[in-house]
Chain A
Amino acid sequence: MAVYDHGYKGYDGPLMPARSRFLVISRYGLRDVFASRLFLAFFAFCFAWPLVLLGAMYLRYNAEALALINLDSADLLEFVQVNTWFFQNLFLRAQLYLAFIVVLVVGPSLVSADLRNRAMPLYLSRPLTRTDYVLGKLVVLGVLVSAITWAPGLLLFAIQASLGGREWLLEHWRVAPSMVVVSVVWLLCMSLPMLAIAAWVKWKPWARIVFMGAILTGTAFGSFYKEFYDSWLGSLVVAFDVTDALSASVFGTQGTVQMPEAAAWLAAAALASLSAALLYRRVRAFEVVK
């Protein structure tokens, strides 16, 4: 069926493996995301803070460079302690806030347009399952969030380990897997609700408003409950409290939120499961009206 040959021909060439088919959706999704220059600029900005921290780490171990900018190495050593707190709060917490914006901006555009324009029958009439579709979309957010959270975090960790030596590495080895675990759990707890809301609302601006509304309402209600009843139960609906408690649990530090670890894990699991169920319910070729 070459363009000059106006006759119908079948295709009997090679095929890509079925198990990686969902990555086609991810690849196209990522290309669409980066087609926006505004988003590209914001995404580049997300690396600013890790670069600042990298600079501080470099200076901390480079007396000559410090002398050039008239800084005392003792002051900097005191000011910039590269330890678990540094990675958990100074690096990861800041990056998770930026990742939240990434999910808020990119998430709705991934599924709402497909559902609004009835593209699901086109996807699902091909050798692609609903799980593949959701996975493909989730990978887009996974790549973006990973690129600004645990990936630069591991790079900083590796550089610090090379500068700080074996002793530092042995003392702080837990930081590396903790950054990955917290980032992945956070990704699931934010991305799945965002995709689920986008699938139900089907309109990007509304999906963002509903998502923000849900988080703000949860925070307001939870904070009120905590104050009024003096109980940690309110934290269960405060996304950032749950994130803090989980982070403290994974990094093995003292959290700022008085909330049992198990309750935080349970809240995160419930949120992700409920969102996945809602999303899965919506991602269908056709809705069945019983």
Chain B
Amino acid sequence: MSEAPPVIDLDGLGVRFGRHQVLDDLRGAFSGRAIGLLGPNGAGKTTLLNTLLGFYRPTAGTARLFGMDITAQGRELRRRVGYMPERDAFIAGISGVRFVRLMAEVSGLPPEAALERAHEVFFYVGLGEARYRNVETYSLGMKQLLKLAQAIAHGPSLLFLDEPTNGLDPPARLRMLRLIREIRDSGKARIVVSSHLLRDVEECCEEVLVLNRGRIATYCNLAEERRANRRFLELDLAAEREGAGSGFRAAIEGLGCEVAVVNRRRIKAVLPPGVEVRHIYASAIQQDVTIRRLDYKRTSLEDIFLQAMEGDDGRL
């Protein structure tokens, strides 16, 4: 059986507006359930989304979504895509449910199915009670949810969300992130989230692409990073008797751990497969050593992001 094509496959993608090179030679294949696009303002995140959606024509290279070329098969691709733009976008003078129904019909759903889906997505995003209100009367938070509703009304298999938590208060932000995670976990749609908020991306994405000045600054598989972090420990010890500390180090080395000594009371260890934290505690009891503190080494997305920005040109 042939392997499924990556969700996004960037093949030397470049976009130039006049003399301004906005995206430059982007390459890479990404297959995560939720892919985050990170970068400072003007890094090219929105331009990349817009190019993948077919709004801008690539001036160099190309990109493929689910193996389909964004230029040659744009129309077919857009049938499978949902898009939530960053800024306010709606059709004036109509009710919320009519707006979402129109969007679903334009995506190809028959009128009856579109109406049914419109009602369903309104309840799904939590705007059920407001669905007959004119969209112009919606608050900022409601408009964000409305944009999400129209993006998922036709059941896309790829969802582009551009700054989905923009302007939301904390409860609304949590609700939006929960919805994104739910859609991700349903397995029905892959998600690409563009945001400058590291926390949002960290909370709902598995892969992260950091852009800076139109180039890929770094790529990080958050899921793997999290798994790796789970194996890296930092321990603060208090030995009850002379030589207990070295005995403990020897014991956990005997378990197969790689151990580095920071000082007399602090060591770092990498757990091999099959060895769990409880084995470390058992060794400590045997060696009469008290573990005062045990931390998983945690490389946050912020660390990765800052490292990428520094690595790119040494400036932030």
Contacts and interface: CB of A to CB of B under 8 A. Distances in A.
B108 A121 contact: no
A121 B85 contact: yes
B148 to A, nearest CB: 11
A113 B83 contact: no
Interface in B182-217: 182-183, 186, 188-189
Nearest to A28: B102
B68 to A, nearest CB: 13
Given A10-B155, A122-B150, A16 B108 contact: yes
B233 interface: no
Contacts of A285: 50, 53, 55
Contacts of B281: none
A13 interface: yes
B124 A122 contact: no
Contacts of B89: 117-119, 121-122
B56 A11 contact: no
A14 interface: yes
A1 B189 contact: no
A117 B135 CA distance: 11
Given A10-B155, A16-B109, A127 B75 contact: yes
Nearest to B82: A125
Contacts of B103: 122, 126
A125 B53 contact: yes
A8 B124 contact: yes
B152 interface: yes
Contact of A2 (B93, B120, B183): B120
A258 B160 CA distance: 59
A220 interface: no
B237 interface: no
B257 interface: no
Nearest to B183: A8
Nearest to A4: B123
A279 to B, nearest CB: 18
Interface stretch (A18-26, A94-102, A140-148): A18-26
B226 interface: no
Contacts of A24: 102, 105-106
A122 B76 CA distance: 16
Contact of B106 (A10, A11, A14, A128): A128
Given A113-B93, A121-B85, A125-B81, A18 B50 contact: no
A290 B18 contact: yes
B94 A32 contact: yes
B157 interface: yes
B108 A127 contact: yes
B189 A10 contact: yes
Nearest to B162: A121
Contacts of A118: 85, 87-89
A261 interface: no
B119 interface: yes
B91 A289 contact: no
B108 A18 contact: yes
Given A9-B186, A290-B20, A117 B88 contact: yes
Nearest to B189: A10
B55 A289 contact: no
Contacts of B119: 3
Interface string B89-115: 111111000000011011111100100
Contacts of A16: 105, 108-110
A127 B78 contact: yes
A126 B114 CA distance: 14
Nearest to B136: A117
A185 interface: no
A122 B94 CA distance: 15
A124 B157 contact: no
Contacts of B128: 3
A117 B83 CA distance: 16
Contact of B155 (A3, A9, A21, A289): A9
A125 B89 CA distance: 12
Contacts of B106: 21, 24-25, 123, 126-128
Query: Among B18, B54, B75, B128, which residue has the most Cβ atoms of chain A within 10 A?
Result: B75
Contact of B75 (A2, A11, A117, A129): A129
A32 B93 CA distance: 9
Nearest to B101: A28
Interface string A10-54: 111111101001001100100010000000000000000000000
A9 B188 contact: yes
B119 to A, nearest CB: 6
Contacts of A25: 106
A166 interface: no
A126 to B, nearest CB: 5
30 contacts: A1-B120, A2-B120, A8-B179, A8-B186, A10-B155, A10-B189, A12-B155, A13-B110, A15-B108, A15-B110, A16-B105, A18-B108, A24-B105, A113-B92, A113-B93, A118-B85, A118-B88, A119-B89, A121-B83, A121-B85, A121-B89, A122-B150, A124-B55, A125-B53, A125-B78, A126-B78, A127-B75, A128-B78, A286-B50, A286-B56
Given A125-B53, A126-B103, 14 more contacts: A1-B121, A11-B117, A12-B155, A116-B92, A117-B88, A117-B90, A119-B90, A122-B90, A122-B150, A125-B78, A125-B160, A127-B75, A127-B108, A286-B56
Complex A-B, nearest 9 residue pairs according to Cβ-Cβ distance, in ascending order: A11-B155, A290-B18, A125-B83, A10-B155, A15-B108, A285-B55, A10-B188, A1-B120, A3-B123
